[in-house]
Amino acid sequence: MKLVFATHNAHKLKEVQQLLPSGIELLSLEDIGCIEEIPETGETLEENAKLKADFVTKKYGFDCFSDDTGLLVNALNGAPGVYSARYAGAHKNAKDNMAKVLSQLAGVAEREAHFKTVVHLNINGENHVFNGIVKGVITEAEQGDGGFGYDPIFKPNGHDLTFGELSAARKNAISHRGRAIQKLVSFFNNRQL
């Protein structure tokens, strides 16, 4: 079956492709000719994930899933949250976003945070939502050059390495996106594609 993942992020697409069952042909936005930036005007991760999936399903006619992810830092009252990708500005620069978080946490001892991913699936006229959360701490400085986004400054609980230092396979096994996608995979496996 063909399924669109509503993202322009090649890193996310690659991560997810490694997790889905072989019976699913995963298409990117570029594969279906969608080169525009889909508006993310929701006030929650759930709203943004739904907006993106609905956009693709209505405009292009494909079954589709999308995700929205946020980093929620306790000491920043849950920021950057829904604004994680554009925390340091509309240019969506990961280095600038990390620098802003690290600057705001300078001298702050309490560095607990969590990543949350919401996956919204439109399939056969049905809607399904899957969540994944991973708790951890924000490091004092960037560590590692793997992953993307805030990965080099997020150390998941129970690990000595940041997401930026973990292998892709290890990160996928424990990450917020990995947990949400595993629920999506279980959903497909139960439908016996």
Cα of 84 vs its chain's centroid, Å: 10
Task: Please state the rounded mean pLDDT for residues 37-44.
Answer: 90
Q: In the chain, what are the domain boundaries?
A: 2-190
Taking only the tens place, the pLDDT of each residue in 83-125 is 999 999 988 899 999 999 999 999 999 999 999 999 999 999 9
Could you give the CA distance from residue 156 to residue 171 in angstroms, rounded to a whole number?
A: 9
pLDDT of residue 177: 87
Nearest to 2 by CA among 33, 43, 31: 31
Q: Which residue has the higher pLDDT, 127 or 17?
A: 127
What lies within 8 Å, CB to CB, of 15 at 6+ separation is 168, 172, 177, 178, 181
Catalytic residue numbers, as ranges: 68
Burial zone of 131 (CB within 10 Å; 0-12 exposed, 13-18 middle, 19+ buried): middle
The domain over range 2-190 is classified in CATH as 3.90.950.10: yes
Does residue 185 carry a pLDDT above 60?
yes
Band (pLDDT 50/70/90 cuts) for residue 21 is confident
pLDDT of residue 192: 58
Taking only the tens place, the pLDDT of each residue in 133-171 is 999 999 999 999 988 899 999 999 999 999 999 998 899
The CA-CA-CA angle for residues 125, 45, 69, to 5°, reads 105
